[in-house]
Amino acid sequence: MRILVTGGCGFIGSNFIRYLFQKYPEAEIVNLDALTYAGNPENLKEFQDNPRYSFIKGRVEDGETVNNIMANIDAVVHFAAESHVDRSIVDATPFVMTNVRGTQVLLDAALKHKVQKFVHVSTDEVYGALGAEGTFNEESSFRPRSPYAASKAAADLLAQAYFHTHHLPVCIVRPSNNYGPYQYPEKLIPLMVTNLLEGKRVPVYGKGENVRDWLFVLDNCSAIDLVLEKGKPGEAYNIGGKCEKRNIEVVKTVLKIMSLGEEWIEFVPDRPGHDFRYALDNSKIERELGWSPGTPFEEGIRQTVDWYLKHEDWWRPLKARLFQESKGFWTRK
């Protein structure tokens, strides 16, 4: 099988490509990535000379490039997206272009070339925010509350429309908050770990009471692979970690693992439209495909912290660039 992975140099995409190579020794993988700020070819440098791996630098909204690639593709797993909520608040334009227009271009090309399976990687943020109780299932209404979430909701609806209108064999996955190796250091967990390694405090929005469902990235990869193999076209699947944590709990877990005290926490003003809580109902993917998350949270955090400790050469250049681009916004002392 020849698989196109879009955004394969990003956090989840690069972990997924690594997962595919380990599990499927005969698979051929084409990685289309624009190498924007969060796309790092170093994430996959061990595959650069592998005859089963091809990298193409390009944008998903570039119709000519996408059509040329898609002519020899059996399946698509579409990760490519602008994904940082705070950046979408500052400027929504790249989120609409990549997440909406780019998805439409890929769907058109997949339809034209009769791709056998298209897995669109969405997010739990399309559902909006929950109160203290309840969970989202696949039939829950979309109520996105940030430009990022709105762009992903639009892409979801496009993918569903191409199945219903054109019978394109599309599946949608909606994972909860991923963490693990190779995550760009503007996100909560790698920002914490790298700040602490640099002797800086950890910025926490508000009082850290916002709740997220945490999912180790390799568990997410196994679920997406299962949907690629066995998912029913036209269906969406939630991929939750069954691990709800307040942000302050996550911070304290990292501090404990790194043998540091709470004096390293700095509470900062909350961001606009900060959703209080997300939580996913996994019963559909458990029932239909037999998947459930396998990595306990503290074990996953220990693996993640250990990875960043051992890969300073990977994250330090990114952190320096991030600091310059944001003029210190993400790395307050």
pLDDT at 218: 98
Instruction: Please report the pLDDT score of residue 330 as a whole number.
Output: 39
For 234-251, what is each residue's pLDDT tens digit?
A: 999 999 999 999 999 999
- Global confidence as pTM: 0.93
- 213-239 burial by CB neighbour count: b if 16+ within 10 A, else e? bbbbbbbbbbbbbbbbeebeebbbbbb
Residue 231 pLDDT > 80:
yes
User: Where is pLDDT greater, at 276 or 79?
Assistant: 79
Number of C-alpha atoms within 13 angstroms, CB side, residue 283? 6
| Digit-coded pLDDT (tens) for 312-324 | 999 999 988 876 6
* pLDDT (0 to 100) of residue 291: 98
CA distance 13 to 33: 10
**Alpha carbons 201 and 79: distance in angstroms, whole number:** 31
Q: What percent of the chain has pLDDT over 90?
A: 86
Catalytically active residues, by annotation: 124-125, 148
pLDDT at 333 over 80: no
Dihedral through CA 286, CA 291, CA 294, CA 296, nearest 10?
-30
Strand blocks (E) in 34-157 = 53-57, 75-78, 117-121
pLDDT over 70, % of the chain: 96
pLDDT at 331: 38
Residue 244 phi, psi dihedral angles, 5° rounding: -75, 130
Domains of the chain: 2-179+215-239 (3.40.50.720)
pLDDT of residue 70: 98
Residue 51 binned pLDDT confidence (cut-offs 50, 70, 90): very high
pLDDT tens-digit readout, 134-164: 999 999 999 999 999 999 999 999 999 999 9
Q: What is the pLDDT of residue 278?
A: 87
For residues 194-223, average pLDDT = 95
d(CA 282, CA 279): 10
Q: Length of the chain, please?
A: 333
pLDDT at 303 over 60: yes
pLDDT in tens, 81-113: 997 788 898 999 999 999 999 999 999 999 999
Residue 167: CB atoms within 10 A of its CB come to: 11
pLDDT of residue 326: 60
Q: Which of 79, 124, 118, 123 is nearest to 102 (CA)?
A: 79
Check whether 27 has a pLDDT greater than 50.
yes
Cα(122)–Cα(262) distance, rounded to whole angstroms?
34
pLDDT of the residue at 332:
36
